[in-house]
């Protein structure tokens, strides 16, 4: 199980820069998506609140950073050979180290994998922890100085599109000068020296950039950082060889502590914790030990939620089906007038049969109410009289009828038929042959209920 | 954190079981979803039909209630004819009686009218339609008369319901 480099569970982080006699401590508190920083005294750390984490770092001189290249395109497979490659590069055995692979990316020709590794000898880690312990401190996380400087500089002085390609972050203190070098956002390496030695710096920069970059971004920070005067000889010499803008960070004294606190709280680029293995902080060890239980519990809860959702759905389906059945039975009972004889699932059939037999039995009642002939006959007689028709025979049943008659003109027969149609009767007109010598036009009108048209 | 060594395997076992059951139930629910939707759609249509039948049944009940307010027996056609067209000559015969709904009988009577004016026929028809309970004309045959405004022969078949 890998040790997380960031304590994302924490709400507060204390970044400790043990650079000077008085340690510099910065408290970073999560404030929405941003962090609120505050300089605090060392006695604040005597009793840490829950959900807080302490982060220190291994100095550049106590640790190393290496870019390794494995001739394997698969990053996962390359990760397995990086320890051997590291072992070859280091002047001491990798088994005496704690190290961490921070980043991988394919080589330019995509046939291999590059990996950034940082680490420190266990002896150095022990020494560093002893230094912390002497100050009454027990950091949860041990970061790496050069990398912390690099990422914090990226955060505070972001890379500008079209800006300088080379980037140098210099941390100046009375004890040491540490600098991190990179190209755009990519970290290339970090080094340290007792005091600023421009020639050494120049040589090291040349090892990264054999052809000096046209413009170099200089970021100056640390307790001793100040904007260099143009006349200062060392800077003047550097500016001539590596020209570019020089920027002093805000609150440079607290920069490293701020970097450590930020990296401890927020996940991001190349985070690391070298306090692993046998050095792992008990609190983190406890958290790591809890993790399998947390995963198992989360899986159990997820499984139970899945079961619950499905059971709820099945219950809902059963309930809805029962409700529908109940409604069906109630309606069928209302239609048939009795719940007797209605079998489950046969409600519709029972209701249909009941309504059919009842409609048949209700016909005498319905006939009187609808009264088709009672209404049709007076209407027919009126229309015939007004249009001057002579009715010879009228035969009408409940649903239809036939009228034989004579009209003075065909148009009058047509008008009568139209008027009957307008009164919601379905009337059809047919011309018949008139008897010899008869000037009037013989016709037959078929009449039915308007809905019979359909 | 002191935990019994058996706790973690037990937790993982329970989690595995819960997830497996959950997955199986999900598969069952999802595979039955189409069928359930189909059944519910059909039930919705059947429900519409049942509701339509319920309104027909309600109309029937309302009609029966309306008839229940009438006297048990319908006035005879003779009475109605005498009242509507005094002196009208006619001939009636009960053609058929048959049970309608329980407690009700449908009575069919035919009536023949001879040489009647159109106006008198209209008055007679109005009287039978307004009777309580009303008479319904099931069938009618009219034959014209050579005399204007008169009908030589009228044959009517009427029906009423009585308790």
pLDDT tens per residue, range A389-429: 888 898 888 778 899 999 999 999 999 999 988 887 888 99
CB atoms inside a 10 Å sphere around CB B98: 10
Mean pLDDT of A122-130: 95
Task: Output the average pLDDT for chain A.
Answer: 89
Contact between residue A150 and residue A169 where contact means Cβ atoms under 8 Å apart = yes
pLDDT above 70 covers a percentage of chain B that reads 98
Least confident of A182-196, B58-72, B111-125: B111-125
Cβ–Cβ of A335/B54 closer than 8 Å? Answer: yes
Closest CA to A149 of A40, A53, A262: A262
Q: At what angle do helices A282-336 and B7-68 cross, to 10 degrees?
A: 20
Q: A225-245: per-residue pLDDT in tens?
A: 887 665 566 777 787 889 999
Mean pLDDT of B111-117: 88
DSSP-assigned letter for residue A74: -
Contact between residue A79 and residue A101 where contact means Cβ atoms under 8 Å apart = yes
A43, two tokens: 């006695």
First to last CA, chain A: 81
Give yes or no for A379 touching B (CB within 8 A).
no
pLDDT at position B121 is: 86
Return the CA Rg of chain A: 49
pLDDT at A439 over 90: no
Give the span between the Cα atoms of A52 and A47, in whole angstroms: 10
pLDDT at A188 over 90: yes
Contact between residue A329 and residue A351 where contact means Cβ atoms under 8 Å apart = no
Give yes or no for A402 touching B (CB within 8 A).
no
pLDDT at position A453 is: 40
A147, two tokens: 């990398």
Distances (CA, A) of A68 to A61, A208, A271, A292, B71: 20, 15, 18, 33, 112
Cβ–Cβ of B135/A368 closer than 8 Å? Answer: yes
Give yes or no for A277 touching B (CB within 8 A).
no
pLDDT at B4 over 70: no
Q: A355-378: per-residue pLDDT in tens?
A: 999 888 888 888 777 656 766 777
pLDDT at position A158 is: 93
Contact between residue A227 and residue A246 where contact means Cβ atoms under 8 Å apart = yes
pTM: 0.63
Q: What share of chain A is helix, strand, coil (3-state, %, to 5)?
A: 45, 25, 30
Contact between residue B78 and residue B92 where contact means Cβ atoms under 8 Å apart = yes
Question: Could you give the ipTM of this predicted complex?
Answer: 0.77
pLDDT at position A454 is: 34
pLDDT at position A372 is: 65
pLDDT at B148 over 70: yes
Contact between residue A152 and residue A255 where contact means Cβ atoms under 8 Å apart = yes
Can the peptide bond before residue B133 be classed as cis, meaning omega within 30 degrees of 0?
A: yes
CA distance to partner chain A, nearest, from residue B110 (Å): 13
């Amino acid at each position: 199980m890998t040790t997380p480099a960031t304590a994302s569970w924490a709400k507060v982080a204390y970044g400790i820069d043990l650079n000077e006699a008085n340690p510099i401590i910065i408290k970073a508190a999560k404030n929405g998506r941003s962090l609120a920083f505050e300089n605090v005294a060392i006695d604040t750390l005597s009793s840490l609140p829950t959900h807080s984490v302490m982060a220190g770092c291994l100095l550049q001189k106590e640790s190393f950073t290496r870019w390794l290249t494995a001739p394997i395109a698969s990053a996962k497979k390359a990760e397995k050979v990086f320890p051997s490659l590291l072992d070859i590069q280091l002047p001491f055995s990798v088994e005496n180290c704690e190290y961490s692979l921070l980043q991988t990316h394919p080589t330019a020709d995509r046939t291999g994998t590059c990996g950034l590794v940082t680490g420190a000898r266990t002896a150095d880690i022990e020494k560093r922890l002893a230094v912390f312990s002497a100050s009454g401190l027990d950091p949860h996380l041990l970061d790496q100085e050069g990398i912390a400087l690099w990422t914090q500089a990226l955060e505070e002085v972001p890379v500008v599109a079209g800006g300088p390609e080379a980037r140098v972050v210099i941390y100046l203190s009375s004890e040491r000068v540490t600098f991190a070098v990179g190209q755009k956002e990519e970290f290339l390496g970090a080094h340290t020296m007792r005091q600023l030695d421009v020639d050494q710096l120049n040589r090291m920069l040349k090892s990264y950039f054999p052809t000096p970059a046209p413009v170099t971004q200089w970021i100056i920070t640390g307790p001793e950082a100040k904007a260099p005067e143009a006349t200062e000889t060392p800077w003047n010499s550097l500016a001539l060889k590596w020209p570019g803008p020089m920027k002093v960070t805000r609150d440079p004294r607290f920069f490293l502590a701020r970097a450590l606190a930020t990296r401890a709280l927020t996940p991001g680029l190349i985070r690391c914790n070298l306090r692993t293995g046998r050095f792992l902080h008990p609190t983190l060890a406890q958290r790591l030990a809890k993790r399998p239980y947390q995963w198992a519990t989360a899986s159990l809860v997820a499984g139970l939620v899945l079961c619950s959702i499905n059971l709820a759905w099945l219950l809902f389906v059963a309930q809805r089906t029962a409700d529908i059945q109940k409604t069906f039975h109630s309606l069928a009972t209302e239609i048939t007038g009795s719940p007797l004889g209605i079998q489950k699932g046969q409600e519709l059939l029972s209701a249909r049969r009941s309504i059919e037999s009842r409609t048949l039995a209700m016909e005498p009642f319905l006939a009187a109410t609808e009264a088709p002939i009672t209404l049709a006959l007076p209407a027919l007689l009126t229309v015939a009289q007004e249009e001057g028709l002579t009715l010879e025979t009228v035969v009408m049943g409940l649903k239809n009828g036939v009228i034989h008659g004579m009209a003075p003109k065909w148009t009058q027969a047509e008008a009568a038929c139209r008027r009957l149609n307008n009164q919601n009767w379905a009337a059809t007109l047919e011309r018949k042959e008139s008897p010899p010598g008869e000037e009037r036009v013989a016709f037959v009108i078929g009449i039915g209920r308007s809905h019979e048209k359909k | 954190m002191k935990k019994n060594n058996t706790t973690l395997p037990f937790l993982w076992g329970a989690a595995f079981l819960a997830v497996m059951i959950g997955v199986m139930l999900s598969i069952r629910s999802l595979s039955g979803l189409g069928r359930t939707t189909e059944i519910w759609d059909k039930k919705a249509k059947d429900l519409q039909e049942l509701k339509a039948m319920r309104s027909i049944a309600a109309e029937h009940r309302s009609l029966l209630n309306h008839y229940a307010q009438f006297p048990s027996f319908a006035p005879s056609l003779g009475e109605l004819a005498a009242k509507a067209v005094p002196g009208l000559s006619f001939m009636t015969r009960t053609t058929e009686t048959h049970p309608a709904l329980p407690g009700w009988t449908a009575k069919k009577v035919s009536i023949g009218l001879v040489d009647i004016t159109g106006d008198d026929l209209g008055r007679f028809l109005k009287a039978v339609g307004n009777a309580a309970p009303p008479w319904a004309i099931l069938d009618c045959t009219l034959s014209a008369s050579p005399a204007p405004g008169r009908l030589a022969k009228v044959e009517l078949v009427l029906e009423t319901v009585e308790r």
